[in-house]
Chain A
Amino acid sequence: MRLLSRSLFTAALLIAAGGVLATAPSPFTAPALAQSAARNAGAEQFVQTEAQRALNILTQHRGDLATEKRLFRGFIDQVADVPRITYFVLGKYSRSISPAQQHEFAAVFREYASNVYESRLNEYHGETLRVTGSVARTPTDVIVQTQISGGKLDQPVEVAWRVLAEGGGWKVVDVQVDGVWLAITQQQDFVSTVDNAGGNIQLLIDQLKRQVAKDEAG
């Protein structure tokens, strides 16, 4: 069980906050990656700048959860490619979903994902993020390696950000902690759910709606 490690929902928060929770170190991935392919300075700068913005929101509005939530929603819309992620997490079902269901899914997924990270915003304890390198899959698809340390972390944590070039800037599409990519995991969760519903995407949408309603009631 130890092997599963503390990844998934740490990553959920990291996508919002630039990394704030304790997780096991991942000693093998980042340094080797950083040395193995061309770096991309623009993508690295983007991650460093935006992570600092996230940490500033958390530092300046500590204790004011309503303000933090509001500012973070705006922040996520700016730095993450929400439409692309929404499409990606449906996996093979993104090809068969109807336009009406696509619209319905996008709305509920946004609420669902926001609730996941917002529930953890108060767990920031002053950790900081430093870019350690990057690997360009293509000139417009880059993995930026970072190290998060300080705060309540016993050991630094390696976190990778996948960023895609878009409209002259960059957008985050996925985050990796301890070898686990958040959007890929989310895709496998949703695709398995729809598979087990005989391919009925509406059951996934309804389940997410119930989850959102429960979160907002509780």
Chain B
Amino acid sequence: MRAVLIGLAGLAAASLWPAAQAAAAADPAAQIYDPWEHANRALYRFNDGLDRAILRPAALGYKRAVARPVRAGVRNVLNNIDTPNTLVNDLLQGRVVLGGQSAARFVINSTVGVAGIFDVASPLGIPAHDADFGQTLGRWGLPPGPFLYVPVFGPTDLRDGAGRIVDGFASILSLHDLHLTFWDRTGVEVVDGVDSRLALDSTLEEVKHTATDPYATERSAYLQYRRSRVVDPKQAVDQLPSFDEPPPAPAPHAAAKSGPS
């Protein structure tokens, strides 16, 4: 595990995130680092076909076949399975109070909540929150690195992609004492994926229907969302773009082509 961590951290650190990007944050475009855009767009198109053919039909089939309360129970169980990893990352980030909440949620929901089926901790005033290893690396100061679009999993970046791999190893499903097979764990991942795709359905359909560049829109939303989980809130507010001072004009070669075609 240690070797994996060091390797992944080195990979992300070597991703040549330009230092100037942080300074130029007042221009939202400066917060996008997508040197592999051509390949990413190809993967996005491939994923779109896969989504039309398999992923979305599977999600909608799940919605039709499984009653809403049962789906809510399944989501609660999946969230509960993630909670120990959330706790570990809370602590790695030095967030002791949140870590206490994660521990309490796991104990209460695993017992009173019947193996996590019912989220009884939230009504008790212990709300859910997310924490993952990509976020932890970010809070430790590791930049996101290049944006990536991974079929099935969707938008990510080098840091969060690495974080996801570590989260997979760190999941309680990987505990030796549970004696789960590869296929058991894969089954849980598939249900998680189908349920997540269903939860995102209306948003993704809206993006595909209304965005003039759906890839750019998903990339923007993903990077902003993850940044909000990593960057100090005060700093994030200070770095918002001006509404009165637009970014510099496009490069002359692009501007020369502008105008009606």
Please give the residue numbers on chain A whose beta carbons come within 8 Å of chain B beta carbons, in ascending order. Answer: 1-10, 12, 25-29, 32-33, 36-37, 81, 84-85, 87-88, 90-98, 101, 112, 115-116, 135, 137, 141, 143, 155, 162, 164, 173-174, 178-181, 184-185, 187-193, 195-196, 198-204, 207-208, 211
Q: List 3 A-B pairs, minimum CB-CB distance, nearest first.
A: A179-B228, A192-B216, A199-B254
Among A4, A101, A137, contact of B225 (Cβ-Cβ < 8 Å): A4
| Complex CA distance for A199 and B215, rounded to whole angstroms | 18
Nearest chain A CB to B88's CB is how many angstroms away? 17
Which residue of the partner chain, among B199, B217, B236, B261, contacts A185 with CB atoms under 8 Å? B217
Ordered by A's residue number, 17 sampled pairs between the chains whose C-beta atoms are within 8 Å are: A3-B225, A8-B203, A9-B203, A27-B130, A29-B228, A29-B236, A33-B233, A92-B249, A93-B250, A95-B249, A95-B250, A143-B240, A155-B127, A179-B226, A189-B211, A189-B220, A199-B254
Residue numbers in A under 8 Å from B254 (CB-CB): 195, 198-199
Residues A184 and B257 in contact, CB atoms below 8 Å apart: no
Q: How far is the CA of A143 from the CA of B235 in the complex (A)?
A: 13
Residues of A within 8 A of B218 (CB): 4
Note all chain B residues with C-beta closer than 8 A to A8: 203, 206-207, 217, 221
Please tell me which one of the listed residues A10, A137, A192 contacts residue B237 in the complex, with CB atoms under 8 A apart.
Answer: A137
B216–A9 CB distance below 8 A: no
Q: Which of B153, B236, B237, B243 contacts A88 (CB 8 A)?
A: B243
Q: How far is the CA of A159 from the CA of B200 in the complex (A)?
A: 19
- Indicate whether B248 reaches chain A with its CB closer than 8 angstroms: yes
CB closest chain-A residue, reference B41: A196
- The reply to whether the CB of B105 lies closer than 8 angstroms to some CB of chain A is no
Q: How far is the CB of B103 from chain A (nearest CB, A)?
A: 16
* Residue B32 at the chain A interface, CB threshold 8 Å: yes
Q: Are A36 and B246 in contact (CB under 8 A)?
A: no
Shortest B90–chain A CB gap in Å is: 11
Decide: A5 and B225 in contact? CB cutoff 8 A.
yes
A7-B221, A116-B210, A135-B237 as given contacts; A189 in contact with B246, CB under 8 Å: no
Query: What secondary structure prevails in chain A residues at the interface with B?
Result: helix
Do A1 and B153 touch across chains, with their CB atoms under 8 A apart? yes
B213 at the binding interface (Cβ < 8 Å): yes
Q: In the complex the two chains form, what is the Cα distance from A192 to B211 in whole Å?
A: 11
Beta-carbon contact of B226 and A200 below 8 Å = no
**Which A residues are CB-close (under 8 A) to B29?**
91-92, 188, 191
Interface size class of B (residues with CB under 8 A): 35 or more
On chain B, the residues within 8 Å of A10 by CB distance are: 203
Answer whether residue B129 sits at the interface, using C-beta atoms and an 8 A cutoff.
Answer: yes
- Nearest chain A CB to B216 CB, angstrom units: 3
Expressed in whole angstroms, the Cα–Cα distance for A76 and B198 within the complex equals 31
CA–CA, A32 and B227, complex, Å: 15
Q: Does A184 contact B200, Cβ atoms closer than 8 Å?
A: no
A-chain residues with CB within 8 Å of residue B244 when the two chains form the complex: 84
Per the 8 Å Cβ criterion, residues 30-48 of B in contact with A are 32
Given A96-B258, A137-B237, is A181 in contact with B224 using a C-beta cutoff of 8 Å? yes
The answer, among B156, B207, B212, B228, for a CB contact under 8 Å with A193, is: B212
Residue from the list B193, B197, B243, B259 in contact with A164, Cβ < 8 A: B243
Contact assessment for B196 and A1 in the assembled complex, using a CB-CB cutoff below 8 Å = yes
Residues of A within 8 A of B237 (CB): 33, 37, 135, 137, 143
Q: Determine if B69 is an interface residue (Cβ-Cβ < 8 Å).
A: no
**Would you call B122 an interface residue if the criterion is a C-beta within 8 Å of the partner chain's C-beta atoms?**
yes
**In the assembled complex, how far is the CB of residue A22 from the closest CB belonging to chain B, in whole angstroms?**
9
CA A143 to CA B243, docked complex, whole Å? 13
The CA of A3 and the CA of B233, in the complex, are separated in Å by 19
Query: B71 contacts the other chain (Cβ, under 8 Å)?
Result: no
Give the Cβ gap from B245 to chain A, nearest Cβ, in Å.
Answer: 10
**Pick the contact of B240 from A98, A137, A179 — CB < 8 Å?**
A137
Cα-based distance from A198 to B204 in the complex (angstroms): 27
Whether A92 pairs with B256 at a CB distance below 8 angstroms is no
